A and B are shown apart, each in its own frame.
Chain A
Amino acid sequence: STVVLVFQALALKKQEDEASLSEFRFCVDKGDKIRMGEALGR
């Protein structure tokens, strides 16, 4: 079985917003093993 997640998140950081906003980053890569509850991205 397979699960596909599709979601919207901040993609680009604007200079004037740097203090308060940051873009979405995955913290996993292709081939990684992951368990439920572990962070996929922040």
Chain B
Amino acid sequence: MHTSSQGRNPFVVPGATVATILMLGALHARRMYNDKKIEEAKESGVELELQPDVKAKFLNMLPLRSISRFWGSLTSTELPIWLRPYAHRAWARAFHSNLEEVALPLDQYASLKDFFVRALKEGSRPIDSDPHSLVSPVDGTIMRVGELKEGVLIEQVKGFSYSVSSLLGSGSFFPLIAAKEASEDSSLQEKNLRDEGTKSWWRISLASPKLRESSSSRPITGLFYCVIYLGLGDYHRVHSPVDWNVLLRRHFSGRLYPVNERATRTIKNLYVENERVVLEGRWQEGYMAIAAIGATSIGSIKLSIEPDLRTNQPRKKLLQSEAPEERVYEPEGTGLSVKKGEEVAVFNMG
């Protein structure tokens, strides 16, 4: 590899570079081998368990919020018009975005950030017309679905769960809604309760999420959950899953760990630690909440129903125990009425 100092061959690579390339190659091969093993395990129905690793510990030491904001400034750089289609096509190819449904010509998205939050052509996402359906608020992959059982925990991976009250905030509207339903006689309740005169039999508990009634002849409701992961190439706007009234918004200023599948297997309390915005309210069946959780690359969340809200802001010191910032929407108790399919939020780069 080494030549005499006088006549170096320009095509010969220094030994240290070769060693680095070999090391990176070996690491990449090991990563691919691990991913293949995980894929095979998933195909054979084996549930994955939490496996904290060195990478997770390393991520904990990084200034991920600063990195996220830097990434945001970098991707908001205005590109020359001639370069825009190439840059956006390259992104689409890398992350499997569908360019056929993009609302505007590619050269009209001045930056990668603008392209990332693109709207879609009208009719690209027809809303399920069944009045009894609850629709997906986003494009993505279903990570978990189910009914909340005793303890109100959502499983992150096998053997590790996080509590819904930690995710949504301990001052949840659960009791308030129950109290309202106990005293009000609204049409929403009429649908649920079917001609019942008094609603005082409703009671709710975070330890046992089922809403029960004293008489066994009446319906029992439960709490359900659905976790959806959005890939980098996916459409990143959040829409309303049903007709509902948004009573409250809660903003948790947290960390910005990545939230990909690998991160869910290696970082405990991932969703509870990350920066997120929670909307809580009421639909025809009762309680409804949407939590939009940020990540390193997609760190900020903009609300269509509250454009002034700023997330992923620089902070002197981040306190995990800090209470979330809340806003109750007016008029109190009724809030903002949002229709099924209406846009409520956008995930932004950085």
Chain A residues proximal to chain B, CB less than 8 Å: 1-14, 16-17, 20-21, 24, 26, 28-42
Q: Which residues of chain B have C-beta atoms less than 8 A from A31's C-beta? A: 42, 141-142
B138 on interface, CB distance cutoff 8 Å: yes
Considering the chains assembled together, what is the distance between the CA atoms of A7 and B244 in angstroms? 11
Given A6-B148, A38-B136, the answer on whether A1 and B125 have CB atoms closer than 8 Å is no
Q: Are A34 and B140 in contact (CB under 8 A)?
A: yes
- Tell me if B135 and A37 are in contact (CB < 8 A): yes
Residues on B with beta carbons closer than 8 Å to the beta carbon of A32: 141-142
Q: Is the CB of A26 within 8 A of B298?
A: no
Measured between beta carbons, the chain A residues less than 8 angstroms from B341 are: 37
B125–A37 touching, CB < 8 Å: yes
Q: Mark B137-175, 1 if CB is under 8 A from A, else 0.
A: 111111111111000001000000000100110000000
Q: How many B residues face the partner with a CB closer than 8 A?
A: 69
> When each residue 190-218 of chain B gets 1 if its CB lies under 8 Å from chain A and 0 otherwise, what string results?
00001000000000000000110000111
Whether the pair B220, A4 counts as a contact (CB closer than 8 A) is no
Looking at B25-33, B228-236, B313-321, the stretch in contact with chain A turns out to be: B228-236
Q: Are A16 and B229 in contact (CB under 8 A)?
A: no
Query: Smallest CB-CB separation from B192: which chain A residue?
Result: A10
Complex CA gap A36/B340 in Å reads 11
